[in-house]
A and B are shown apart, each in its own frame.
Chain A
Amino acid sequence: KQEVTQIPAALSVPEGENLVLNCSFTDSAIYNLQWFRQDPGKGLTSLLLIQSSQREQTSGRLNASLDKSSGRSTLYIAASQPGDSATYLCAVQSSGANSKLTFGKGITLSVRP
């Protein structure tokens, strides 16, 4: 059974800091890994999708890496801003029959002005 872990559960940083959010998963048989952002009371916003054959993806100030063999992914946020404050969820799509997403419990990020 796939398990996804995100530690720590919460993080507070000053504005301008570069930061790394970590995600680990137990089963390397995956199609892809996806990072989402969720603002309080809102739905999921997809940030980056990394296919299992890829090592990283970049979008603006965000860079996500994937090491499938070790079961790890990181989301790097450069020059953090107060608007980056949100919960960041990592999800893996297992290469099983239903290709469901298994989510971590998320990291709640607070960027202090």
Chain B
Amino acid sequence: GAGVSQSPSNKVTEKGKDVELRCDPISGHTALYWYRQSLGQGLEFLIYFQGNSAPDKSGLPSDRFSAERTGGSVSTLTIQRTQQEDSAVYLCASSGAKLNYEQYFGPGTRLTVT
């Protein structure tokens, strides 16, 4: 079946603009994660959605970052007033309902803020 998909694959934006990144998880997966991979910090957790529960936003680096998950499926990560330090690869992963299930990763969105 189809894996996790993300769009766009690449995004170049000017500093100060808002961007939206999209993630389509594997059908039937109730858990969805966003991670960020940047040169200096490695791969870091951003936010976690599980079913209809309130998301765990503990990894979001600032209030310029937000995420939604509509209908328990597609998720959008929004970055407002982008800064150069937001340049990174944003990865989405999904997994089944149990907490120890494997997470399957999408190909990522490479964001460049100029």
Q: Which residues of A line the B interface, CB within 8 A?
A: 31-32, 34, 36, 42-44, 46, 49, 51-52, 89, 91, 93, 95, 97-106
- Check A49 against B33 for contact (C-beta < 8 Å): no
A46 touches B48 (CB 8 A): no
CB distance A99 to B99 under 8 Å?
yes
Are the C-beta atoms of B104 and A99 separated by less than 8 Å?
A: no
List which B11-51 residues lie within 8 A (CB) of chain A: 31, 33, 35, 42-45, 48, 50
Name the interface size band of chain B: 20 to 34
The answer to whether B105 and A44 touch across the interface, beta carbons within 8 angstroms, is: yes
Q: Which of A34, A95, A100 meets B45, CB within 8 Å? A: A100
Cα distance A105–B39 when bound, in Å? 10
A9 to chain B, nearest CB (A): 11
Q: Which residues on the A side are within 8 Å of B104 (C-beta)?
A: 46
Q: Which of A36, A52, A100 contacts B33 (CB 8 A)?
A: A100
Let me know if B62 is at the binding interface, CB within 8 A: no
Question: Interface centre among B44, B45, B99, B108, by most A CB within 10 Å?
Answer: B99
